[in-house]
């Protein structure tokens, strides 16, 4: 290929590149003038409204029948512990029972067989003190373990609704600031969406922390750090 041909092609490429850059700039400018996109954010620690945990117990003895009988007797004790802590409407129908020669319990493998029984429970309402009471009542017993204790804030929690309202106000405030900086008048809200709140949870007894902002939460065991995002597009008048 001749040098003049190469220079011609290079020149055309530069012109096309510059034209593309100008088109992109013009599109971005027009888009900004057609609307303002803003994300609203609100976050804080909210007391949990639900608790989930799994109770595991064992029955021991020389035969499978003896071990199973003891496991079911201990289940009745567990029911008394749960109700004594203030939890009501417990459902134990989903329990799992199996006998094993290698009894793994409390994080270690025992040298004797056992019948293991486990049941998952969930309660709503004022649950923090109740869970604390249940743990205190069972902590010294070597045949029961309370595992996977989760404190949960559900999407229908009134304080989550408050956070959404705060996020909306946050977005509106920032949209007005952006409009002022651009020298335009903020119009009506034309597009709105939320990030689809999923129940937030944390492990009971573990320090509360904001995943997004790396903030330490309160030391008490009842709170869950919750953050919501809302997305807004405002017209420009």
Q: What is the pLDDT of residue 129?
A: 83
Q: First CA to last CA across the chain, in angstroms?
A: 56
183/129 Cα distance (integer angstroms): 55
In three-state secondary structure terms, 129 is helix
Among candidates 113, 121, 190, 106, which has minimal Cα distance to 152?
Answer: 121
Contact, 60 vs 48, CB < 8 A? no
64/62 Cα distance (integer angstroms): 7
Q: Which residues of the chain are modeled with pLDDT < 50?
A: 1-32, 210-219
Q: What is the pLDDT of residue 208?
A: 61
Domain ranges in the chain?
Answer: 36-47+156-236, 52-146
CATH number belonging to the domain at 52-146, selected among 3.55.50, 1.25.40, 3.30.70, 3.10.450? 3.30.70
Q: What are 81-98's pLDDT values in tens digits?
A: 999 999 988 888 889 999
Q: What is the pLDDT of residue 79?
A: 95
Q: What is the pLDDT of residue 31?
A: 40
214/2 Cα distance (integer angstroms): 62
pTM: 0.70
CA angle 30, 31, 36 (to 5 degrees): 125
15 Cα distance to chain centroid: 51
Q: What is the pLDDT of residue 22?
A: 26
The topology (CATH level 3) of 36-47+156-236 is Translation Initiation Factor IF3 (3.30.110)
Distances (CA, A) of 78 to 55, 120, 127: 8, 12, 17
Q: What is the pLDDT of residue 221?
A: 56
């Amino acid at each position: 290929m001749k040098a003049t041909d190469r220079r011609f092609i290079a020149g055309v490429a530069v012109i096309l590149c510059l034209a593309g850059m100008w088109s992109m700039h013009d599109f971005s400018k027009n888009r900004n003038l057609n609307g303002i996109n803003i994300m609203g954010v609100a976050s804080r620690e909210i007391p949990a409204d639900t608790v989930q945990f799994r109770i595991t117990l064992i029955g021991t003895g020389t035969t499978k029948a003896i071990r199973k009988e003891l496991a079911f007797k201990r289940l009745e004790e567990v029911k008394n512990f749960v109700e004594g802590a203030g939890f009501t409407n417990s459902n134990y129908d989903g329990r799992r029972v199996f006998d094993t020669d290698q009894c793994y319990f409390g994080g270690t493998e025992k040298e004797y067989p056992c019948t293991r029984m486990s049941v998952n429970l969930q309660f709503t309402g004022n649950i923090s003190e109740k869970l604390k009471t249940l743990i205190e009542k069972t902590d010294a017993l070597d045949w029961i373990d309370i595992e996977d204790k989760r404190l949960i804030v559900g999407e229908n929690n009134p304080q989550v609704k408050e956070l959404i309202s705060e996020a909306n106000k946050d977005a509106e405030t920032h949209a007005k600031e952006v409009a002022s900086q651009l020298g335009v008048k903020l119009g009506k809200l034309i597009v709105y969406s939320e990030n689809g709140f999923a129940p937030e949870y944390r492990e009971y007894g573990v320090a509360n922390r904001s995943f997004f902002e790396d903030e330490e939460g309160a030391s008490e065991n009842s709170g869950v750090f919750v953050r919501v995002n809302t997305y807004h597009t405002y017209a420009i008048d």
